[in-house]
Amino acid sequence: MKGLRGGRGEGSGKRGTAWVIASFAACPCHLPVTLAALAVVLGGTAGGALLRDHIVLAGVVVTAVWAVGTARGLWLLRQPAACPLPSAGAVSGGSRSPGPSELPMRVTPPSAAPTGEPSPRVAALEDTPRS
């Protein structure tokens, strides 16, 4: 996942949908319901008193949250894929990177111990006492 910034990854469409759905709750057409819910949640606190005294400012803030959330969600939904699929010409021929079976293979023989002597690892295992 590339985080909140960056190109569109696998989860960018899902994040965009989540932003649009979440900002739907702050939609200005739901403003009376949103402000009433905020008043219930913040009732008896300093935040509730602030909301009561500055109801127009609260409406402007909720509307701005809706606008920014919707814009962010739509922006994420419209981003192109981070890694587009290759075109048909690139797959059938032309310049493409070799697959694993086409890469040159280098085989390095293991270092063999002289005949009759065990490898140092086996000798170390034979010297350890068993319990």
pLDDT score of 120: 59
Model confidence at 110: pLDDT above 90: no
DSSP string spanning the chain? ---SSSSB-TTHHHHHHHHHHHHHTT-GGGHHHHHHHHHHHHTTSHHHHHHHHTHHHHHHHHHHHHHHHHHHHHHHHHPPBSSPPPPHHHHHSSS----GGGS-----PPPPPPTTSPPHHHHHHHHSPP-
pLDDT, tens digit, for every residue of 14-56?
888 999 998 888 888 888 888 888 889 988 999 889 888 998 9
What mean pLDDT is predicted for residues 61-74? 92
Model confidence at 123: pLDDT above 50: yes
pLDDT score of 34: 82
pLDDT score of 4: 47
What mean pLDDT is predicted for residues 53-61? 90
Comparing 42-46, 73-77, 125-129, which segment has the lowest mean pLDDT?
125-129
The pLDDT-based confidence of 84 (bands split at 50, 70, 90) is low
